[in-house]
Amino acid sequence: MFLAARNGKPLSIADAERATSSIINSIAKNKLSPWLDDVRRYHQGTFQHCLLVTGIAVGFAMDIGFDTADVKRLGVAATLHDIGKARIPLSILRQARTS
């Protein structure tokens, strides 16, 4: 999704929903902590942040008893919350992290 946005291509909600479903399934199966550990080991920066936000939002929604449709909606919103950063040059994003 981030690569498509960076290249000015349209985003697919279906791709966002698939990515979110994968996160939801992982958290439902293994709980939140192992998933967070996997994300921390995988990647740095904005992509990692978006995945962490999605995981925390989904884990929270599950813990307080959201129904499945609401967990999915919240997860997709969290997955896409920073998609605009994909169009910001990496040099600027890297500079913002070191400030």
Q: pLDDT tens digits, the chain, 99 residues: what are they?
A: 666 767 788 878 888 888 888 888 888 898 877 766 766 665 467 667 878 898 999 999 999 999 999 999 999 899 877 766 666 777 777 776 555
In the chain, where the domains are located: 2-98
Q: What is the pTM of this model?
A: 0.58
Q: How many helices (H) and strands (E) does the chain have?
A: 6, 0
Record the tokens describing residue 42, joined without a space: 């995988």
Residues comprising the chain, all counted: 99
**25: nearest Cα among 80, 79, 82, 71:** 71
How many other C-beta atoms are found inside a 10 Å radius of the C-beta of residue 23? 21
